[in-house]
Amino acid sequence: MLLFASVADRAGTRRVELPYVAGDTVASIRARLLERFPQLAAAVPTLMYAINEEYARESDPVPAGATLAMIPPVSGG
Amino acid sequence: MLLFASVADRAGTRRVELPYVAGDTVASIRARLLERFPQLAAAVPTLMYAINEEYARESDPVPAGATLAMIPPVSGG
Amino acid sequence: MLIRVTPDELDTAEAIQAAGSPAAGAINVFLGVVRDNNLGRRVQYLEYDAYPSMAEKVMRELAVEAKERFALEDCAVLHRTGRLEIGEASLLIAVSCGHRAASFEAGHWLVNEIKKKVPVWKKEVWEDGEAWVEGPESLGIQQAPASMR
Amino acid sequence: MLIRVTPDELDTAEAIQAAGSPAAGAINVFLGVVRDNNLGRRVQYLEYDAYPSMAEKVMRELAVEAKERFALEDCAVLHRTGRLEIGEASLLIAVSCGHRAASFEAGHWLVNEIKKKVPVWKKEVWEDGEAWVEGPESLGIQQAPASMR
């Protein structure tokens, strides 16, 4: 799983390896992430998600081998 | 007097020396120009004028030594 | 503020540099470039005539007005004269300001005003003739094909 | 079409070249540049983070949509990452089209969409602290002054 910007800073890492199992969704994997990094809980309400570089919903299934990314509110430009 | 673009082409020159006298206006000097270059008559309805690089009206007086310019519809950019 | 009428190629980097400012968050650059067609005719090249000293004066007045009206940090307005080939820039405007929306508005306003007020004229040259464009969108006064003159 | 997320300085001439076309009469270029202040605070420099592969994907999708929507001839969208000093360009957009009005509209639409959708983040660094900007105009999550960490 990829973390960026403020979320990466709070977690102290930009990359987390979490095994995905059949039936996992963005939300279920996020729950496991928060067990390891409870300090990310405050960021959850503003997060968006991407599966394989495509914006995704919390309820979307995450296929095995997919790249999941936590996307804080963007501020490019 | 300065001529540009289509007006200069029709007159065959970009610069005409015409003596200005006290009381001369843009219109009176233009009348003398047309005596020398009757082929410019067709352009008159679309012309604008400048006295010393400032847009001017037909009725404006032209001071001695001033530079008068005939300005066809502009098409820069 | 950089204002120039010149027969030389317009330098975008120079204009951006001139228009820049530490307080600027947005720079908008507009290039008017020579298109290979106009109103359905193939254009070979353009020839620009100008009243350079007055053109610079009017460009400066418009730049000053734009700076005031859109709270610009700075701006640059350059117009080229002489023969221009397809793809070359005839007009170059660069404006800088704090935020992006005003940079787009200022650039657009400046092009429109320049096209209305600055004493510059373009002649279109086609394969079979040429014409001065009179007014921003007209086909101009058609002249006889070059081959017949 | 040129799409790129890069730590290197953005090259305006390259973008204009890439966006150009013989049928283009107007090229609009937008530069987002690092401003020395934001919401009343002095900014020393910015640090941009990105999800580069996804950012390029989203930028390309937006460029394709802009090309269609505004009948662009071509366009270029580049975003820089890493540390950027005051006056340096973080975002560079160049669009070309037949006429000027659409070039301004397309450029403006693209900046707005990019700021909403492209996974890129800026951190503002001040004399006495720093913050990730979350969302386009927010002050971000304030962190303790650097001297206290």
Q: Kindly report the nearest CA distance between residue D54 and chain A, in angstroms.
A: 5
The tens digit of pLDDT for each residue in B23-66 reads 999 999 999 999 999 999 999 999 999 999 999 999 999 998 89
Task: Count the domains in chain D.
Answer: 1
pLDDT for B20 equals 86
DSSP 8-state assignment for residue A51: E
Opening angle at CA A31, ends A27 and A36, nearest 5: 145
Residue B57 buriedness (CB in 10 A; 0-12 / 13-18 / 19+): exposed
Q: Do B72 and C115 touch (CB under 8 A)?
A: no
Q: How far is CA B41 from CA B33, B37, B56, B57, in A?
A: 10, 8, 19, 18
- B59, B24 contact by CB (below 8 A): no
Interface chains of chain C (3 or more CB pairs under 8 Å): B, D
Q: Do B74 and C138 touch (CB under 8 A)?
A: no
- CB-closest option in B4, B50, B53 to C121: B4
Q: Please name each of the domains of chain B with its CATH number.
A: 5-71 (3.10.20.30)
**Is residue B49 helix, strand or coil?**
strand
Pick out chain D residues at pLDDT < 50: 138-149
Contact list in C for residue D99 (CB cut-off 8 A) is none
pLDDT for D135 equals 75
Average pLDDT score, chain D? 91
CB atoms within 10 A of CB D71: 12
Residue C78 lies in a domain: yes
For residue C103, what are the domain limits? 2-130
Contact list in C for residue B76 (CB cut-off 8 A) is 48, 50, 55, 79, 90-91, 114-115, 118-122
Residue C84 lies in a domain: yes
Q: Do C132 and B75 touch (CB under 8 A)?
A: yes
Distance CA B34, CA C34 (A): 35
Contact list in D for residue C89 (CB cut-off 8 A) is 27
Greater confidence (C39 vs A8) lies with A8
Q: Among D100, D78, D89, which Cα is nearest to D25's?
A: D100
Instruction: Look up the ipTM and state it.
Output: 0.92
Greater confidence (C146 vs A37) lies with A37
CATH of residue D123's domain is 3.90.1170.40
Greater confidence (B67 vs A20) lies with B67
Distance CA B45, CA D119 (A): 58
pLDDT tops 70 at residue A22: yes
Q: Kindly report the nearest CA distance between residue D136 and chain A, in angstroms.
A: 5
Residue D70 lies in a domain: yes
Residue C122 buriedness (CB in 10 A; 0-12 / 13-18 / 19+): buried
pTM of the model: 0.92
**What chain C residue is nearest to D44 in terms of C-alpha separation?**
C22
pLDDT in tens, chain C (149 residues): 999 999 999 999 999 999 999 999 999 999 999 999 988 899 999 999 999 999 999 999 999 999 999 999 999 999 999 999 999 999 999 999 999 999 999 999 999 999 999 999 999 999 999 999 987 554 444 443 333 33
Q: Do A50 and D119 touch (CB under 8 A)?
A: yes
The tokens for C87 are 């793809």
